[in-house]
Amino acid sequence: MAKYKVVINKETCIADGVCWSLCPQVFEMDEQGKSRIVESFRTEDSESRSEGIIGDDLIDCARAAADACPTASIVIEEVKE
Ligand code: SF4
């Protein structure tokens, strides 16, 4: 199964909630109102960025959120094993 790294740039996130509305399986709101990766997939979280690894079962949902993000704050790349 392919794996994908999802990175959220919290410095450009405007906290409009589009990503967690479209794909709550991967994205949620943090304490600052910004987006972060949900705990079960999260590998890193700070004030400036949040990262996680997801499987291909969630890639369509995560890509829809990334494509809809108005500030292009979500980047997804395949993890080479
Ligand atoms: S869609 Fe983009 S700007 Fe909106 S909350 Fe998610 S990461 Fe932030």
**What pLDDT does 79 receive?**
97
CA 16 – ligand 1 centroid, Å: 6
User: What mean pLDDT is predicted for residues 7-24?
Assistant: 98
* 64 against 80, higher pLDDT: 64
**pLDDT tens digits for 36-76?**
999 999 999 999 999 999 999 999 999 999 999 999 999 99
Buried b (16+ CB within 10 A) or exposed e, 44-76: ebeeebbbbebeeeebebbbebbeebeeebbeb
Q: Which residues line ligand 1 at a C-beta cut-off of 6 Å?
A: 8, 13-19, 35, 69-71, 73-74
Going by alpha carbons, the residue nearest to atom 6 of ligand 1 is 19
> Which of these ranges, 12-16, 24-28, 52-56, 77-81, has the smallest mean pLDDT?
77-81
Q: pTM of this prediction?
A: 0.96
Q: Which atom of ligand 1 is nearest to the CA of 17?
A: 5
- 9 CA closest ligand 1 atom index: 7
Tell me the C-alpha distance between 30 and 13, whole Å: 12
Fold (CATH) for 3-79 = Alpha-Beta Plaits (3.30.70)
